[in-house]
Amino acid sequence: MTDSLPIATLKDMVRQHLPMRATALRLTPVRTGQHNASYWVHSDHGRSVLRVAPPDDAGFLFHERHMMRQEPALHELIRRRTTIPVANVIAADFSRTLIDRDFLLLTALPGMPLSDVASLGGSMTRRAHQQVGGYLRQLHGLTAPECLGVDAYGYLGAHCPMTPQSTWWASFQVMWHKLLDDVVSCGAYTAAEADTFRALLEQYREHFDRSVTSCLLHMDLWEQNILVDLNGNVTGLVDFDRALWGDIEMEFAVLDLCGISQPAFLEGYGQPRDHSVSAEIRRVFYLLYEVQKYMPISIWRGNNPNGAARNKRHSLALAAQLRAR
């Protein structure tokens, strides 16, 4: 999201965690990113990245408030247990002593967002998608019982937006209802419209009645969050602040929406998808979860009622698909 912060304050934030000569520090805005304000930090220590959370009154979905606070532990976990290229967190400051926001200082990864590399040919884009598939398979190999010591589901990070649940169905129910509360709060749904969507999930409950491993999901993997070099090699995956622990099918629904789940990606992932009737029904609900969230985002942070209306139409169309089955 666009933001304007005093450059002197930003420099003080960096110096607090990366001591250096005052003349050796330069900050430039990072133009990508839709939520946090990010800056390249150039110093005698090399290049790093300062990421600053939005102000507390920016308007958040239920799982977005303080979500940056789960990133340090996730980065450490991923760096320790996988070969996924993620940044090292140099410092995490949630004290609000210098600024009334959370912020992170991270090592800068090489490469540029896949969305910005128009020069990549088809073979190099396929290489990037294939490598992303392999990395995501590693990410999904991280499970809550093994990594966190709990058999739980949902948003389990330090930001604590929900009570951990003992089954995926119970977790998705909580997430679904909380998101619908947000959509009503922003004015995109009436209470009656939201109740229709609440009843819709209950109607299809039997399709969620299965054993699910609680896997780590990125949940925001689109081309802007994939860094590559000019040969199409993946140099970094970024922005894990929306991560949750649950059903890998939900991750795939987001990848479908973002255009990442191409044949090359699936080849790199190395595991076939479930295309049963029940899996397709779950996929529509997971797509609905993703699409509906853009109504509050459009209204609260984007000042874009037309965008919210488009996402509402999309949501109604997805619900109609379910009812037509």
Q: Which residues pair with 228 in a beta bridge?
A: 112, 234
What strands lie across the sheet with 103-107, from one edge to the other?
Answer: 26-29, 37-43, 46-52, 103-107, 89-93
Q: Helix (H, G, I), strand (E, B), or coil: what is residue 309?
A: helix
Kindly report the number of other CB atoms within 10 A of residue 165's CB atom.
Answer: 19
**Residue 240 phi, psi (nearest 5):** -95, 15
Q: What are the b/e assignments for 285-298, b being 16+ CB within 10 Å?
A: bbbbbbbbbbbbbb
**pLDDT tens for the 325 residues of the chain, in order:** 445 789 999 999 999 998 776 668 999 999 876 789 999 999 887 899 999 999 999 999 999 999 999 999 999 999 999 999 999 999 999 999 999 999 999 999 999 999 988 778 889 999 999 999 999 999 999 999 999 999 999 999 999 999 999 999 999 999 999 999 999 999 999 999 999 999 999 999 999 999 999 999 999 999 999 999 999 999 999 999 999 999 999 999 999 999 999 999 999 999 999 999 999 999 999 999 999 999 999 999 989 999 999 999 999 999 999 988 7
Intra-chain end-to-end CA distance of the chain, in Å: 39
**Strands 37-43 vs 26-29: parallel, antiparallel or unpaired:** antiparallel
Q: pTM for this one?
A: 0.95
Give the up-direction half-sphere exposure of residue 222: CA atoms within 13 A in the CB hemisphere.
15
- Confidence (pLDDT) at 2: 47
**At a CB cut-off of 8 Å and minimum separation 6, what does 103 contact?**
13, 50, 51, 52, 53, 68, 92, 93
**At a CB cut-off of 8 Å and minimum separation 6, what does 203 contact?**
none
- Confidence (pLDDT) at 4: 74
Distance CA 73, CA 152 (A): 17
- Confidence (pLDDT) at 1: 47
Domains of the chain in sequence order: 7-107 (3.30.200.20), 112-323 (3.90.1200.10)
Distance CA 91, CA 103 (A): 8
